[in-house]
Amino acid sequence: MSGENRNASVYNNSSWIDVTNTKVLLVDDEKDVTDLIEEVLRKEGFRNVMKACNGYDAIELTKSRCPDVIILDIMLPDVDGIEVCKRIREVSLCPILFLSSKNDSIDKILGLSSGGDDYITKPFSPKEVAYRIKAQLRRQQYSQHLVKDSSTPKTFRTGNITIDYDSIKVYKNGKEVEVTSREFHILVFLSENVNKIISKERLYEKVWGEYSAICDNTIMVHIRHLREKLEDNPSDPKIIVTVKGLGYKLVKN
């Protein structure tokens, strides 16, 4: 494969992902920032890059153009990125990566709890943004390929919860539960390792695609939100169980 084609694809154990048709929406009121990220993305093979300089335009573009990935600044001139993320989550489950000049853990928790999938602090490397987007695409493809192997079940059930790998949906008592793409990937990995204890570090590495020794807050936020959506009593979880000092496990009932 030529160098140009290699840049236009992301390798995964299953296949190459062609990013040329991946629709990326950049949302930031600083034109220099979006121009710089766009330049790097195009060098990495992305050909379909959209830009918005405010929150309302971002919401409308999401509705009309259905981006595959969104890079969203938290500080916008009309409405903050947290609210934009919540509005986007009403119409799309595509990965949302926050950009912020704030490095406070509270802001990260707010971003992730509003439906975001990743959080990048300014100043940042545009190359890092490109590779974080690729990591999101790898995880999406991984979920889609789960069903292509005949040995892989199309659904996982525990208690009143069903995870449908094929449709990328989750159900409780037969009714669909809205989960973010990150939450779905967490459930997929835990269900692949049902009844096994998974450390926070390993969960972060497998789902976020990178190693981090400081991942407690990020993992805790996502697990808490999953419990709120899936558990009958989130304060006394029976499905996603904490094993003190070791990590989490998904229990098969």
Residue 55 confidence class, pLDDT cut points 50, 70, 90: very high
Percentage of the chain lying above the pLDDT 90 cut: 49
Distance (Å, whole) CA 174 – CA 161: 8
pTM of the model: 0.60
pLDDT for 105: 67
The set of residues, in sequence order, having a beta carbon less than 8 Å from that of 54 and lying 6+ positions away, is 27, 29, 76, 77, 78, 79
Domain 146-250 belongs to what architecture?
Answer: Orthogonal Bundle (1.10)
Task: Tell me the pLDDT of the chain averaged across its residues.
Answer: 83
pLDDT over 90 (residue 100): no
Percentage of the chain lying above the pLDDT 70 cut: 83
Tens digits of residue pLDDT in 66-79: 999 999 999 999 99
The set of residues, in sequence order, having a beta carbon less than 8 Å from that of 123 and lying 6+ positions away, is none
Distance (Å, whole) CA 202 – CA 5: 32
CB neighbourhood size of 155 (10 A): 14
pLDDT for 2: 39
pLDDT over 60 (residue 112): yes
The CATH code that applies to domain 3-143 is 3.40.50.2300
Q: Residue-wise over 61-70: b if at least 16 C-beta within 10 A, else e?
A: bbeeeebbbb
Residue 150 confidence class, pLDDT cut points 50, 70, 90: very low
pLDDT for 208: 73
Q: Which two tokens mark 59? A: 């919401």
Residue corresponding to tokens 């918005």 = 52
Task: Please state the rounded mean pLDDT for residues 48-61.
Answer: 96
pLDDT over 90 (residue 162): yes
What residue ranges do the domains of the chain occupy?
Answer: 3-143, 146-250
**200-208 and 181-192 helices, crossing angle to 10°:** 120
